[in-house]
């Protein structure tokens, strides 16, 4: 977008400005109005409507919703599919071994949880928020932080109509500054504002580097005789093997719809790895193919998942605001759940901000929020499982199943982790190895029935970007993809992007790097995995991106 310092904008004042209408932001908004109905609260959402940019598995632990809206069942919350079966398999290429439930720590049980569309849960939460008087502005991307010294005073939102070079076009709208006594950053994983704030205030200095996975998901409509509402299946092993960590989920949701997802940990070394094609290959496993054959894929999407957990939590509060949910990295990796912690973080932040405003404060650090997260339910949830991910990264799947289980069992029974706290080590970008040190991987061609090419699948994310706006995927140095990443890493952006955004095209002048930003599903993988850290994901103009109907 344009140089934010040279533009005159109108401003609006609120008690609390919330960026992101996901479970964290909406829970915070609701809680603020529950505590003090007179507080002025606004929620900004970059999607065209609430829920269109929400993608999650999802099996929801309702503990956060129980705290926020205890009578959610009576109010018609879209939690209608309780988990009835909990199955875990380790896959080989031609078969599978079921891991029995009894050796699993109790925290791994899904009894009492619900298979949901988090997009629909967020749409319902938005209705509850608006009924309390919260203002929600969809299609309003927050593109910059408004600073007052080192205090976050607000955000810039609603800038439209820039030319491709970033200059104002004929229909340019500069947007507005929305100022708050406190600003809540609830953008989700690897948000652009959170990165701006961290770059200035160094919030992540005290923790390990954040770790990530790439989650890809399809919704399938399967034959009624193969569908069992409430069935939950998780798998590990094939096809990833030693190439990468990760696994899958298969959730039997409702109306013969099955949610099929695949997660690849982004600390993999082999730059030839193609996460999207690993997902497509997974669907040809006999157990999965038998379920999907004769069915119909009806939706596709992808997003990054924060996996660092307890060790990677940054400083959560800063002068003028806080980080919520996945903006801070509150996913419990072995449970594959973060929505409950996101909602609890919104509640804790709202309580801290309401108390501060009631005491006449504004613009300072809400240290009570940091304390509540680290010593309360979120901290207890994350500390118990803090070693599973680093064990897996260092020692592989088998060790993580055994050592991780012992560590979790002991923590669950005593509150003490016998393995202490293992470090995550280097970032996912730094983990990428040189192409010459790894073998290329030969992937089978998609068959168009169970597996699909990327561009065909992206059409099922209903993604749209106005083509004449500036490219929101910025290169720090335009020469790096061809001069550095191609010879050293075989330019992995061609493969790690699950939407086919990046290409290396050969022409008469040699190879050139092409960015098809119109395809972008806002997963942020490029911002995370690029080995040169040369790609910067920024927000496109509001309303653009995927339009997930039921994810």
Q: What is the pLDDT of residue 398?
A: 79
392 in a structural domain: no
Q: Which of 267, 289, 306 is the last residue of a domain?
A: 306
3-state secondary structure at position 46: coil
Q: What is the pLDDT of residue 1?
A: 47
Check whether residue 162 and residue 49 sit in a common domain: yes
Rg, Å, the chain Cα set = 22
Q: Which of 285, 306, 327 is the last residue of a domain?
A: 306
Check whether residue 137 and residue 191 sit in a common domain: yes
Check whether residue 448 and residue 511 sit in a common domain: yes
Q: What is the pLDDT of residue 529?
A: 98
pLDDT single digits (tens) 200-222: 999 999 899 999 999 999 999 99
Local structure of residue 205 (DSSP, 8 states) = G
Q: Which of 278, 306, 334 is the last residue of a domain?
A: 306
543 in a structural domain: no
Euclidean distance between CA atoms 331 and 322, whole angstroms:
17
pLDDT in tens, the chain (551 residues): 455 556 889 999 999 999 999 999 999 999 999 999 999 999 999 999 999 999 999 999 999 999 999 999 999 999 999 999 999 999 999 999 999 998 888 888 999 999 999 999 999 999 999 999 999 999 999 999 999 999 999 999 999 999 999 899 988 999 999 999 999 999 999 999 999 999 999 999 989 999 999 999 999 999 999 999 999 999 999 999 888 999 999 999 999 999 999 999 999 999 999 999 999 999 999 999 999 999 999 999 999 999 999 999 999 999 999 999 999 999 999 999 999 999 999 999 999 999 999 999 999 999 999 999 999 999 999 999 999 999 988 888 777 778 888 888 898 888 888 999 999 999 999 999 999 999 999 999 999 999 999 999 999 999 999 999 999 999 999 999 999 999 999 999 999 999 999 999 999 999 999 999 999 999 999 999 999 999 999 999 989 999 999 99
Euclidean distance between CA atoms 36 and 278, whole angstroms:
49
Whose tokens are 């020692």? That residue is 395
Give how far Cα 485 sits from Cα of 264, 313, 432, 490, 502, Å. Answer: 21, 30, 11, 6, 13
Nearest of 54, 53, 52, 46 to residue 140 by alpha carbon: 46
Whole domain around residue 134: which residue ranges?
A: 11-71+120-207+314-384
420 in a structural domain: no
Check whether residue 272 and residue 356 sit in a common domain: no
Domain at 515, CATH number:
3.30.70.20
Q: What is the pLDDT of residue 42?
A: 98
Euclidean distance between CA atoms 314 and 130, whole angstroms:
31
Side-chain-side CA neighbours of residue 356 (13 Å): 24
6 in a structural domain: no
Q: What is the pLDDT of residue 6?
A: 66
DSSP 93-142: SS-EEEEPSTTS-GGG--TT-EE--HHHHHHHHHHHHHHTT-EEEET--E
Check whether residue 461 and residue 527 sit in a common domain: yes
pLDDT single digits (tens) 100-139: 998 888 888 999 999 999 999 999 999 999 999 999 999 9
393 in a structural domain: no
Q: What is the pLDDT of residue 3?
A: 52
Euclidean distance between CA atoms 546 and 461, whole angstroms:
6
Euclidean distance between CA atoms 37 and 275, whole angstroms:
47
Domain at 293, CATH number:
3.30.9.90
411 in a structural domain: no
Check whether residue 66 and residue 140 sit in a common domain: yes
pTM of the model: 0.96
Q: What is the pLDDT of residue 357?
A: 98
Instruction: Indicate the angle between helix axes 23-35 and 118-131, nearest 10 degrees.
Output: 20
5 in a structural domain: no
Check whether residue 187 and residue 326 sit in a common domain: yes
CB under 8 Å to 403, separation ≥6 — which residues?
387, 391, 395, 419
Check whether residue 525 and residue 442 sit in a common domain: yes
Check whether residue 227 and residue 302 sit in a common domain: yes
Token output for 348: 């804790």
Check whether residue 319 and residue 452 sit in a common domain: no
Local structure of residue 162 (DSSP, 8 states) = E
389 in a structural domain: no
Check whether residue 338 and residue 247 sit in a common domain: no
Euclidean distance between CA atoms 411 and 155, whole angstroms:
41
Token output for 113: 């949880």
**Terminal-residue alpha carbon distance, the chain:** 29
Residue 363 main-chain phi, psi, to 5 deg? 75, 5
User: How big is the chain, counted in residues?
Assistant: 551
Token output for 333: 């990796």
Euclidean distance between CA atoms 447 and 445, whole angstroms:
6
Diameter of the chain measured on Cα atoms:
68
**Going by DSSP bridges, is the β-strand pair 321-323/176-185 parallel, antiparallel, or unpaired?**
parallel
Mean pLDDT of all residues in the chain?
96
Looking at the 3D structure of the chain, how many domains does it have?
3
- Write the burial class of residue 147 (CB in 10 Å: 0-12 exposed, 13-18 middle, 19+ buried): middle
Token output for 128: 């509850």
Please list the alpha-helical segments (H only) found in 132-208.
Answer: 192-201
Euclidean distance between CA atoms 402 and 388, whole angstroms:
10
pLDDT single digits (tens) 511-544: 999 999 999 999 999 999 999 999 999 999 989 9
Token output for 198: 């961290």
Euclidean distance between CA atoms 51 and 123, whole angstroms:
6
Domain at 124, CATH number:
3.50.50.60
Check whether residue 33 and residue 57 sit in a common domain: yes
pLDDT single digits (tens) 449-475: 999 999 999 999 999 999 999 999 999
Nearest of 389, 89, 23, 93 to residue 232 by alpha carbon: 89
């Amino acid at each position: 977008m344009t140089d934010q310092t040279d533009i005159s904008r109108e401003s609006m004042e609120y008690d609390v400005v919330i960026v992101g209408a996901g479970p964290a932001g909406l829970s915070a908004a609701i809680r603020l109005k529950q505590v003090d109905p007179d507080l002025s609260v606004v929620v900004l959402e970059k999607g065209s409507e609430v829920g269109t940019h929400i993608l999650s598995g999802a099996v929801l632990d309702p503990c956060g919703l129980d705290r926020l809206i205890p009578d959610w069942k009576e109010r018609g919350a879209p939690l209608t599919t309780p988990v009835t079966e909990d199955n875990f398999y380790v896959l080989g290429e031609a078969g599978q071994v079921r891991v029995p439930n009894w050796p699993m720590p109790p925290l791994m049980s899904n009894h009492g949880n619900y298979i949901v569309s988090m997009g629909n849960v967020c749409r319902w939460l938005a209705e509850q928020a608006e009924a309390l008087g919260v203002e929600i502005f969809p299609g309003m991307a927050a593109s910059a932080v408004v600073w007052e010294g080192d205090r976050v005073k607000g955000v810039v939102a609603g800038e439209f109509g820039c030319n491709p070079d970033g200059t104002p076009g004929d229909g340019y709208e500069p947007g507005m500054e929305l100022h708050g006594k406190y600003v809540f950053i609830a953008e989700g994983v690897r948000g652009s504002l959170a990165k701006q704030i961290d770059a200035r205030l160094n919030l992540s200095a005290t923790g390990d580097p954040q770790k990530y996975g790439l989650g890809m998901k399809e919704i399938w409509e399967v034959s009624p005789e193969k569908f069992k509402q409430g069935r939950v299946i998780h798998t590990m092993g094939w096809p990833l093997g030693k190439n990468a960590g990760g696994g899958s989920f298969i959730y039997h949701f409702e109306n013969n719809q099955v949610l099929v997802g695949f997660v690849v940990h982004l600390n993999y070394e082999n730059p030839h790895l193609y996460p999207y094609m690993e997902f497509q290959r997974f669907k040809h496993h006999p157990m999965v193919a038998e379920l999907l054959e004769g069915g119909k894929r009806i939706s596709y999407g992808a997003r990054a998942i924060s996996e660092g957990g307890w060790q990677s939590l940054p400083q959560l509060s800063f002068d003028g605001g806080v980080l919520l949910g996945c903006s801070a990295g509150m996913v419990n990796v072995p449970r594959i759940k973060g929505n409950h912690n996101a909602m609890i973080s919104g509640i804790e932040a709202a309580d801290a901000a309401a108390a501060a405003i009631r005491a006449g404060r504004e613009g300072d650090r809400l240290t009570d929020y940091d304390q509540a997260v680290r010593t309360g339910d979120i901290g207890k949830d994350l500390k118990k499982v803090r070693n599973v991910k680093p064990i897996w990264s260092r020692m592989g799947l088998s060790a993580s199943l055994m050592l991780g289980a012992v560590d979790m069992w002991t923590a669950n029974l005593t509150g003490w982790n016998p393995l202490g706290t293992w470090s995550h080590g280097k970032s996912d970008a730094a983990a990428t190895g040189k192409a010459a040190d790894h073998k290329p991987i030969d992937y089978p061609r998609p068959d168009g029935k169970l597996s699909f090419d990327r561009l065909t699948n992206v059409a099922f994310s209903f993604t749209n970007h106005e083509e004449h706006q500036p490219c929101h995927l910025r290169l720090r140095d335009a020469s790096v993809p061809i001069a550095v990443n191609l010879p050293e890493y075989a330019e992995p952006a061609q493969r790690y992007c699950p939407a086919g955004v990046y290409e290396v095209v050969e022409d008469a002048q040699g190879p050139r790097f092409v960015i098809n930003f119109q395809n972008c599903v806002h997963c942020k993988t490029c911002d995370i995995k690029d080995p040169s850290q040369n790609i910067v994901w920024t927000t496109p103009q509001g309303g653009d991106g995927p339009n997930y109907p039921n994810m």
